[in-house]
Chain A
Amino acid sequence: QSALTQPRSVSGSPGQSVTISCTGTSTDVGGYNYVSWYQVHPGKAPKLMIYDVTKRPSGVPDRFSGSKSGNTASLTISGLQPEDEADFYCCSYAGKYTWVFGGGTQLTVL
């Protein structure tokens, strides 16, 4: 159960777009369309941003979008806003009732 690989940090200016990658294997990211993304602000509960690779829960702005190609999933945030600054984690179902998270990516809005 190795952690999924994410860049440690990404940054962008307000209004720009950023993409966070999440690389796994054929037994997790590549094997299931069960990739989700969570936004974590310090001291707060993680918030679901994307589920089932591309779907957005109600209340999440359409600036957030997800995709997947092979063993790599991606989260794209367009039209960056200051309040988007947070840590983001991907998560994939890995079979046999186990899950694996990414190491997390710190998003800085310059």
Chain B
Amino acid sequence: QVQLVESGGGVVQPGGSLRLSCEASGFKFSSYDMHWVRQAPGKGLEWVTFIRFDGNDKWYTDPVKGRFTVSRDNSENTLYLQMNSLSPEDTAVYYCARDHTIDYMDAWGKGTTVTVSS
């Protein structure tokens, strides 16, 4: 069955960097566009970034532009999120999600927690 497993979360100081991974299985990863979505403590879900199936096109929400970079390795069935210049406002559970032709996200992982704190 379709499975998405995030990893790489942890505690990092403000200004630091972290790279998240999302390992996909149970489907042809290279055929699907993918998202990262986050949820800050006590807050709602927030769309973060979207990457096309071939990795050639990427879009970001304004608060992370210039700091976060999404990428993928289709040979390893893995999605990545490189996060730089982290601030406490980036503290959240980060989910990866599979896109279904832009109209919805049809599969999600359980998330990985990122805490930015000194």
| A99-B50, A103-B43 known; A45+B108 contact, CB < 8 A | yes
Per the bound structure, the CA–CA distance linking A99 and B47 in Å amounts to: 6
Per the bound structure, the CA–CA distance linking A6 and B107 in Å amounts to: 23
Pick from B7-15, B76-84, B98-106 the stretch touching chain A. B98-106
Tally of contact residues, A, Cβ under 8 A: 29
Which residues of B lie under 8 Å from residue A6 when comparing CB positions? 44
B104 to chain A, nearest CB (A): 4
Which residues of A lie under 8 Å from residue B4 when comparing CB positions? 45
Task: Give the interface SS of chain A, mostly helix, strand, loop or mixed.
Answer: loop
Which residues of B lie under 8 Å from residue A72 when comparing CB positions? none
B108-A103 in contact (CB<8A): no
Per the bound structure, the CA–CA distance linking A51 and B57 in Å amounts to: 24
Most buried by B among A1, A48, A99: A99
Check B85 for interface membership: any CB of A closer than 8 A: no
Check A93 for interface membership: any CB of B closer than 8 A: yes
Which residues of B lie under 8 Å from residue A103 when comparing CB positions? 43-44
B109-A102 in contact (CB<8A): no
A45-B109 in contact (CB<8A): yes
B36 to chain A, nearest CB (A): 11
Q: Please provide the 4 A-B residue pairs with the shortest distance between their CB atoms, ordered closest to farther.
A: A36-B104, A51-B104, A103-B44, A104-B44
Q: Which residues of B contact A (CB under 8 A)?
A: 4, 35, 37, 43-47, 50, 57, 59, 61-62, 95, 97, 100, 102-111
Q: Which residues of A contact B (CB under 8 A)?
A: 1, 3, 6, 33-34, 36, 38, 40, 43-48, 51-52, 57, 89, 91, 93, 96-104
